[in-house]
């Protein structure tokens, strides 16, 4: 019998004592000064039972994890039309890489690298003003999490605006290929604000519940997206959610997951749990060092890897 409460408590204690914690992102100034000693974890089971460890209620910058929610919105609004403007293949490159865009005519490999997420912002902007769309994104994530306290950290958004030279390069380059319909600055304004959403592990795991429930929002019983789309978002998280570290994450953890340079990771055990971890120290590929380790241990101890053969509960 899996004792999830004990597993989560043990992992929390192990992570508090872990010596190798990585280094917080340096290129976005407000993220550089977050204390690397922080670690939080929230596991929400399919029946709503919630297990917390460490700094699970401390808000952090979700950064690229927001790309999952923006993609969900874009699929809801535009459906499969988005796939003519963004691909579905792992890039094998860094999250902010520009190299493939030249040979691939300004079509980003997937919606989870920066270039792909900027295209998704551009798609969402159709017929909207940036401020209106940013407000809609905030309302969407508050609804998913069932929590009105979620906010956008304007200081982080401003810092990204001032230092995001690579993102400006990506957006301008895609504009030159005709794959942005809006002015690059407008698409980037939306992108920087979605990256600056601040959520705690508990709020993030709550917001991810629809992905463990075949697209259904447990609060209302209504579908956020169809079961097919939820399955496909999970597939993209597995193959592309950790950039050039996605293969390693699948190998070690075996769950769909999406990381952000704020040190968070959202991971989904389909039918079983929505999990959020946070520790600001990153590995060389921009993924949370302790977040990955915590999820590796959770998936192994709970038997949640999607590659595990199903075993009768009592036989574990």
Among 97, 110, 259, 289, binds ligand DON (CB under 6 A): 259
Q: Is 114 in the site for ligand DON (CB under 6 A)?
A: yes
Among 55, 122, 153, 160, binds ligand DON (CB under 6 A): 160
- Which of residues 8 and 141 has its CB atom nearest to ligand DON in the complex? 141
Q: HEC states along 22-65? A: CECCCCCHHHHCCCCCCCEEEEEECCCCEEEEECCCCCEECHHH
- Which of residues 195 and 201 has its CB atom nearest to ligand DON in the complex? 195
Q: Is 161 in the site for ligand DON (CB under 6 A)?
A: no
Among 171, 261, 273, 299, binds ligand DON (CB under 6 A): 261
- Which of residues 8 and 118 has its CB atom nearest to ligand DON in the complex? 118
Q: What residues contact residue 272 under an 8 Å CB cut-off, 6+ apart?
A: 45, 46, 212, 302, 304
Active-site residue (options: 67, 175, 272, 292): 67
Annotation marks residue 64 as catalytic: yes
Residue 216, helix vs strand vs coil: strand
Residue 273 pairs in a beta bridge with 45, 269
Number of residues that bind ligand DON (CB under 6 A): 13
> What is the rounded distance in angstroms from the CA atom of residue 180 to the CA atom of residue 170?
11
Q: Is 143 in the site for ligand DON (CB under 6 A)?
A: no
Active-site residue (options: 86, 175, 190, 243): 243
Annotation marks residue 243 as catalytic: yes
- Could you tell me the smallest distance in angstroms from the CB atom of residue 50 to ligand DON? 25
- Give the residue carrying structure tokens 């912002």: 121
Among 34, 44, 141, 195, binds ligand DON (CB under 6 A): 195
Size of the chain, expressed as the number of residues it contains: 316
Tokens of 209: 């519940």
In the chain, helix, strand, coil percent, each to 5? 50, 10, 40
- Could you tell me the smallest distance in angstroms from the CB atom of residue 144 to ligand DON? 19
Among 60, 69, 95, 278, binds ligand DON (CB under 6 A): 95
Residue 90, helix vs strand vs coil: coil
Annotation marks residue 173 as catalytic: no
Among 260, 270, 281, 291, binds ligand DON (CB under 6 A): 260
Query: Which window, 84-92, 100-108, 136-144, 255-263, contacts ligand DON (CB under 6 A)?
Result: 255-263
Is-contact 209 45, C-beta < 8 A? no
Site string for ligand DON, 52-71 (x = CB under 6 A): -----------xx-------
Active-site residue (options: 261, 272, 275, 288): 261
Is-contact 123 153, C-beta < 8 A? no
Looking at the chain, which runs of residues are DSSP E strands? Answer: 40-45, 50-54, 60-61, 151-152, 197-199, 257-259, 264-269, 273-278
Task: Please report, as ranges, the residues that interact with ligand DON according to CB under 6 A.
Answer: 63-64, 95-96, 114, 160, 167, 195, 259-261, 286-287
Q: Which residues are catalytic?
A: 64, 67, 191, 243, 261
């Amino acid at each position: 019998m899996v004792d999830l409460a004990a597993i989560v408590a043990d992992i929390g204690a192990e992570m508090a004592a872990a010596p190798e914690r990585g280094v917080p992102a340096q290129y976005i100034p407000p993220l550089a000064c977050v204390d690397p000693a922080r670690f939080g974890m929230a596991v929400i089971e399919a029946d709503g039972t919630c297990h917390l460890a460490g700094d699970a209620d401390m808000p952090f910058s979700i950064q690229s994890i927001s790309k999952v929610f923006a993609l969900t919105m874009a699929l809801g609004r535009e459906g499969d039309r988005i796939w003519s403007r963004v691909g579905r293949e792992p890039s094998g490159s860094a999250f902010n890489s520009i190299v493939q865009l030249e040979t691939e005519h300004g079509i980003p490999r997937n919606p989870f690298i920066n270039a792909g997420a900027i295209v998704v912002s551009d798609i969402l902007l159709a017929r909207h003003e940036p401020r209106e769309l940013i407000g809609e994104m905030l309302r969407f994530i508050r609804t998913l999490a069932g929590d009105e306290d979620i906010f956008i950290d304007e200081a982080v958004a401003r810092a990204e605006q001032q230092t995001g030279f690579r993102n400006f390069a990506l957006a301008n380059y895609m504009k030159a290929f005709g794959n942005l319909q809006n002015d690059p600055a407008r698409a980037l304004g939306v992108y920087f604000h979605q990256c600056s959403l601040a959520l705690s592990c508990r709020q993030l795991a709550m917001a991810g519940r629809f992905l463990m429930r075949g697209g259904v929002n447990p609060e209302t019983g209504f579908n956020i997206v169809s079961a097919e789309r939820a399955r496909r978002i999970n597939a993209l998280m597995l193959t592309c959610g950790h950039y050039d570290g996605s293969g390693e994450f699948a190998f070690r953890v075996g769950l769909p997951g999406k990381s952000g340079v704020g040190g968070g990771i959202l991971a989904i055990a389909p039918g079983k749990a929505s999990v959020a971890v946070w520790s600001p120290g990153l590995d060389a590929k921009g993924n949370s060092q302790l977040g990955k380790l915590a999820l590796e241990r959770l998936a192994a101890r709970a038997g949640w890897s999607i590659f595990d053969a199903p075993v009768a509960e009592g036989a574990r």
